[in-house]
Structure formats: C-alpha cells, structure tokens
Homo-oligomer: A and B are copies of this chain.
C-alpha cells in the first residue's frame, strides 16, 4: 500500500476499501472467518452455526425520503445477515452522539430503529452510548452488529449459465439521499428502497434450494458485488442493460448528472446467483412478496472474459463494468 493517508475513497466500498481490508485487517486479524471477506462472519459455535456482522452508519442527512439513519442501521445489518443465509436474531446498537444533538430527533431515530427491528423480526439486545464534544463529530453515528443462525446451506460452486437475479430497481437509495442532501430541485421525489430483506429471503429460500450466492448491493452498487463474484474466478458475468430495472426518475437523474446506476448504493436490494433451470420460477416466487415485485433476471454467468463483468448494451454493444475506483459520487453511506 503506497498511500500514507486515508482518503475518502478508502471508505467508498470500492477497490481501495477492498485493498484496505485485504492489506490491513485480513493481514492483522488473520483468521479463516475473516479472510472469506464476506459481509458477515459465520461462526462455528459449539453447537450451531451463527453468523455475525457489523456496520457503522454515518449517512448525511440523517433523514431522507423513505428512511433515516436509524432505519438504515437496522436494515443494513439485518440484510448483511440475511444474504449469508442466516435468520437474523439479535442486534447491538452503539451510538456516538455529538453534544447538543436534539433529543427529540434522537428519539425519532431510536423509535424508527425499534419499529424496523420489529418489522425485521430481530431484537436489539445491548447497546452503548458515547457523547463527544461539539465540533468533533457530525451529529450522530450509529454502529450495529448482529448475529443470526445459519439455516440455509448454499449449494456448491457457481457454474456457467447460472442466472443473476435482482429483486427490483437500482439506485433508489443513493438518489433519495443525494436529493435530500443537495436540494437538487427536481420536481419528483425518489424514496429510498431501505428495507429489511430477511422476510423476502426466507420466503425465497423456503421454496428454492437453487440460490448459490446472495449479496446486498450497498456501497459500490451492483458493479461492486458482481466484480467480487468474478474476481479470480474462471468465469465472467454478462449483464443485459435492457433487463436492469430502473425507476424513470432515477434513469433521468443519472442521465442529467452523469451517474452510472450500476454503481449507485441500494439498501433494500439483494442480488442472487441462481441455477438457470430454477431461475424463472424463483423470480415468480420473489414477485409474490411485497419487496420482490419488480424482480428480474438481469444477466448470467459466462465463460469469457474470465474474472470480468460486462454489459450487453441496449444498442447491441458491450461495455466492461469495472470495480468502482475512488469516489464517483459524494459519499452517502
């Protein structure tokens, strides 16, 4: 690692984050759980497999269309467990609050956490609060850690022909937060997709044993998740641009501001790699759930180019979808 300073890009979820984790944390904390680089740790406790995960939430503004930092802090951690095939059970909640933070605002956020936890079927069982001097923090940071019991057994290796499935439109969360922060002044509002996915995922896994991989495309977006799937693997991924679900408003804002929706953060989306034969039926199952109504097959595992993700564009071309490098967008989560 040649840099001597931490930059915003180290926290962007892109390649530099990836390198920081590999070169620093995996190196020092070396253990078999951590080096799998998944979002949650699967722990062999004496009698059962428990998944454990953590995430800090530093989003600004604290409130945005469709959610707030508290709702997000529960959804994000619940989703990290759910995509591991675990049933989320228990969360911790660590707050870092700047002094003079408004008490009623805090109450609203805590109430939202509680509400979302009930929705998601998890309990917040322990917590910690630190208050820091004014000027040293930015209002409120929340960390949640969570554990769940692993119930789903992922079938073996990903194969050529497997389908890529997503449960709905891309980029809603990032556009919602950016609009709220920047006062972009568009005359339509996009609400964040922020939602706990555990119920949808359980619903799908009960009916299907064909799901080989799941991940929630948050920071770094779909592009990041797909690049992690193919990294150093003997296969690639082809995405079909026409199949990628986008809200008209998001498509419009991306066109105007030059954003690529594949890199936008989501907080209520899950990407799955699914056995080809079962994929259409699985999409039907997902569509029967409120959080899966816009589910689609958006691409597939291909034999070449290996280790890469490309997009078959609407006009019949091909475009490489790289791992995000640095920050194409202002940091929002």
Contact = CB atoms under 8 A, between A and B. Distances in A.
Interface of A: 1, 3-12, 17, 20-21, 24-25, 28-31, 33-34, 38-41, 43, 45-48, 50, 52-58, 89-90, 92-104, 106-107, 110-111, 113-114, 117, 123-133, 136-138, 141, 143, 145, 147, 149, 331
Contact of A52 (B40, B94, B102, B147): B147
Contacts of A127: 21, 25, 29, 34, 54
This chain: how many copies in the complex?
2
A120 to B, nearest CB: 13
A34 B126 contact: yes
B50 A7 contact: no
Given A126-B34, A138-B136, A141-B141, A90 B43 contact: yes
A54 B145 contact: yes
6 contacts: A8-B131, A10-B131, A41-B92, A43-B90, A54-B92, A58-B130
Given A8-B99, A25-B129, A29-B113, 5 more contacts: A6-B101, A6-B103, A29-B125, A53-B126, A56-B96
A57 B129 CA distance: 10
Contacts of A58: 96, 130, 132
B6 A54 contact: no
Contacts of A56: 94-96, 128, 130, 143
